[in-house]
Amino acid sequence: MIIAMQADATPEEVQAVIEKVSEVGMRPLPLPGGDRTVIGVASAIPPDLREALTEMVLALPGVDHVAQVSRAYKLASREFHAADTVVDARGVAIGGAAIVVMAGPCAIESREQLRAAARAVREAGGRILRGGAFKARTSPYAFQGLGVEGLKLLKEVGGELGLVTVTEVMDQHDVEVVAEHADILQIGARNMQNYPLLVAVGKSTHPVVLKRGASATLDEWLLAAEYILSQGNPNVVLCERGVHPLDRTYTRNTLDLSAVSVVKEISHLPVIVDPSHATGSWKHVPAMSRAAVAAGADGLLIEIHPDPKRALCDGPQALKLDAFARLMEDLRRVASAVGRET
């Protein structure tokens, strides 16, 4: 249920609605924004309470209307929030007019490696530096990342170059330490349904990039976003990174570009695309990046490496730094053709 206040409702009137919702044992979630405050009821309302609560709320001064949200996910749905959400990542707007490119190595390996990648990001006009410190690897024998040492390098290099940073958090107990060192928290595809982790990042105020699980339906993905939103963190960015392919001969996953267009219709949250994990091959990253921007994506998450052959993780899909610079030029033209900025 959503309760829309009149545009001129006073803070006291909003407060009275919040108290009424709490009184009947439901959790109110006020969302100031646009031209009016909207209060979501972030709990499942028992059917016998629904009608009574609607009547009680409509009787309060300052209330404009009450609407039911038909989807399983509520706070993530367009029905709940008609306007596009723009997430502010330490001054970088994600979901606004400009396409936002986040790029960097799959895994942080050394200060030199991260610095070289970060310089390339900045010189090409990228605003956000990615780099994994806690790596979710399929094999327990593969490089698992530098951990807190990697986080420290990310903070140092991001600060040096004035780049906003994003890195994956894999464990609910690491949210605090990751948030101390990075500006944006990433939830990996493998953890999209790790509910304690979603709750933990929902309690943070940091923006969260939520990757789609490789086999997740759009509803499952949006319900995962709902876990974060319902904890009070409105700063969720969805990331399509490819789904399990029919054929692994040529690509690692299959980029579901229609998901971008569909999710932009059914949700107000920004949607970005990761063409690197979607294809698994640097050769196909430029084409899928251009296609993602043309399809309406709000940004891209791209793996780059100064020397992909020596990369400790995901080398085959990492763009070399000069190829990344050329791609950024192409993206400027595609963005402008579809009415977006870079």
Binding site for ligand PEP (CB under 6 A): 106, 132, 136, 168, 188-190, 211, 241, 274, 277
Decide which of ligand PEP, Mn ion, none touches 189; Cβ closer than 5 to 8 Å per partner kind.
Answer: ligand PEP
Least distance to Mn ion, CB of residue 206, Å: 21
Neighbours of 203 (CB within 10 A): 13
Least distance to ligand PEP, CB of residue 214, Å: 8
- CA distance between the termini of the chain: 37
Which residue number, 202 or 242, has a Cβ lying nearer to Mn ion?
242
Q: Which stretch binds Mn ion (CB under 5 A): 103-111, 147-155, 205-213, 234-242?
A: 103-111
Chain centroid, CA 177 distance in Å? 19
Least distance to ligand PEP, CB of residue 124, Å: 19
Least distance to ligand PEP, CB of residue 252, Å: 9
Least distance to ligand PEP, CB of residue 167, Å: 9
Distances (CA, A) of 163 to 176, 180, 258, 297, 324: 20, 15, 30, 21, 17
Decide which of Mn ion, ligand PEP, none touches 211; Cβ closer than 5 to 8 Å per partner kind.
Answer: ligand PEP
| Partner residues linked to 272 by β-bridges | 239, 299
Which residue number, 72 or 142, has a Cβ lying nearer to Mn ion?
142
Least distance to ligand PEP, CB of residue 119, Å: 20
Q: Which of 287, 321, 315 lies closest to 124 in space, CA to CA?
A: 321
Q: Which stretch binds Mn ion (CB under 5 A): 85-93, 106-114, 265-273, 331-339?
A: 106-114
Decide which of ligand PEP, Mn ion, none touches 45; Cβ closer than 5 to 8 Å per partner kind.
Answer: none
Distances (CA, A) of 51 to 46, 234, 334: 10, 28, 49
Using Cβ positions, the residue closest to ligand PEP within the complex turns out to be: 188
C-beta separation of 242 from 214 below 8 A: yes
Provide, for the chain, the percentages of residues in helix, strand and coil under a 3-state DSSP scheme, each rounded to the nearest 5.
Answer: 40, 20, 40
Q: Where are the beta strands (DSSP E) in 98-195?
A: 100-104, 128-130, 164-168, 184-187
Decide which of Mn ion, ligand PEP, none touches 280; Cβ closer than 5 to 8 Å per partner kind.
Answer: none
Residue with tokens 């080398």: 315
Which of 106, 108, 201, 311 touches Mn ion (CB under 5 A)?
Answer: 106
314 binds Mn ion (CB under 5 A): yes
